Amino acid sequence: MTTFVGIIDRPETLIIDGYSSARTLNGVMHDIARLMKDICPREVQTFMTKGKQDAIDLLGCSHASSEGGFFVEIEDVPCASQINEDTDEMEYKDGYNYYFCTRVVK
């Protein structure tokens, strides 16, 4: 399950970030795949990793080495958080283990 998902739609790329309640890297990748079904269907299979090693291999596509193209980054977090723009206060949700950010080329 995901929460606080944000999408930046640029002319040539999509940047998607949010939080996942998955317990494993493979689970996070599958959460991203579920998001991709509606956002960028041709990328669904990219994130349907078959195990931990596939997920780790996909993480090799980092922002630093992407040169403006595809990347995916995941980090452990204690909870999900975001700033509520209406109240200018921080919101927290427990039960979310990972923050993810990915960029895909349209």
Residue 68: its pLDDT value, please? 79
CA distance 21 to 88: 25
Residue 65: its pLDDT value, please? 82
Coil, helix or strand for 23?
A: coil
Using the predicted structure, report yes or no on whether residue 93 has a pLDDT greater than 90.
yes
Using the predicted structure, report yes or no on whether residue 58 has a pLDDT greater than 90.
yes
Terminal CA-CA length for the chain: 24
Domains of the chain, residue spans: 2-105
Single out the residue of 44, 35, 30 nearest to residue 17, CA to CA.
35
Average predicted confidence (pLDDT) for the chain: 95
Residue 64: its pLDDT value, please? 83
pLDDT (average), residues 15-32? 97
